[in-house]
Amino acid sequence: MKTIQFREAICEAMSEEMRRDESIYLMGEEVAEYNGAYKASKGMLDEFGAKRVIDTPIAELGFAGIAIGSTMTGNRPIVEYMTFNFSLVGIDQIINNAAKIRQMSGGQFKCPIVFRGPTASAGQLAATHSQAFENWFANTPGLKVVVPSNPYDAKGLLKSAIRDDDPVIFMESEQMYGDKGEVPEGEYTIPLGVAEIKREGTDVTIVSFGKIIKEAYKAAEELEKDGISCEIIDLRTVRPLDKKTVLESVKKTNRLVVLEEAWPFGNVSTELTYIVQSEAFDYLDAPVVKINTADTPAPYSPVLLAEWLPNHESVIKAVKKVMYKK
């Protein structure tokens, strides 16, 4: 094993796949000459050249459409958005073209494309640069949605996403690019749609994904001091959703808390709550509790932002609620 940063894991995954398959190319703002806005494509222009690592204008609708169209002629593009907030400019291409090409062509065309970049908040970036759109994309049939939380998962999942014959939304975080973790020296992939139990426990199941899962780890450490054993599941992929792993855990612990950085109305945690009450109701010893952001645009003020975001104290409070403890 070796220890690398999250950004290096992303770069390694893309580079390894591009060496393996010449139909793969990277396109986006500042991915080439600048080595990526977050240095996640460092050195790739030098290795693969300007025909396969392509700087674009600030025109998300345009380059998303070019990339999607190129899949119909045998290419497998990776599109980097500087942030998924900017994907809204090109969302018509993602929802109405990428997600629907296979069905609307009667299976004559597939659309092997990865849209990747950071999601959710990253400090004082204010309302229009702090939004989480995982559930928006996950709501769309035809798209797969991946949200890794560490370098190991990021590399293995991104390699699988690039090899997938359907469009994949691969969502990262500005605040994770510097995170370090161990990854194998050799080749490995992680299948899409498979969650992982990151911490074994017996009293309560906590489900999360992406960078916010760090707050669940902090909470579990504190709760352990009070004799409460938390099982933590990292979904890793939110579409397809690995409900089997969640249901098996809930049947063991009999309690569920879902932590998600998203607005509270109609999100991934809402769907999980429905699935568990529908398929494991008799196993529940308490109502499911979901933890989300406040139901407002993200504030710029650091004081208000701290109140807006869920944190480990929010998780501790939720766990004690389902445990009927004060």
DSSP 39: S
Q: Which residues are catalytic?
A: 60, 129
DSSP 178: T
In this structure, are residues 151 and 40 in contact, taking their beta carbons and an 8 Å threshold? no
Angle (nearest 5°) at CA 263 between 258 and 265: 85
**Range 212-219, long-range pairs (CB < 8 A, 24+ positions):** 212/120, 212/259, 212/260, 212/261, 212/310, 213/149, 213/259, 214/149, 215/259, 215/310, 215/311, 215/312, 215/314, 215/315, 216/259, 216/312, 216/315, 218/312, 218/315, 219/312, 219/313, 219/315, 219/316, 219/319
How far apart (Å, rounded) are the C-alpha atoms in residues 241 and 245? 10
Single-letter amino acid, residue 202: T
How far apart (Å, rounded) are the C-alpha atoms in residues 233 and 205? 7
Among 154, 119, 209, 113, residue whose Cα is nearest residue 13? 154
156 token code pair: 């293995």
In this structure, are residues 289 and 321 in contact, taking their beta carbons and an 8 Å threshold? yes
Among 116, 163, 130, 166, residue whose Cα is nearest residue 261? 130
**DSSP bridge pairs for 180:** 5
What is the CB-side half-sphere exposure of residue 267 using CA atoms within 13 A?
20
CA distances 7 to 38, 52, 198, 270, Å, are 7, 19, 21, 31
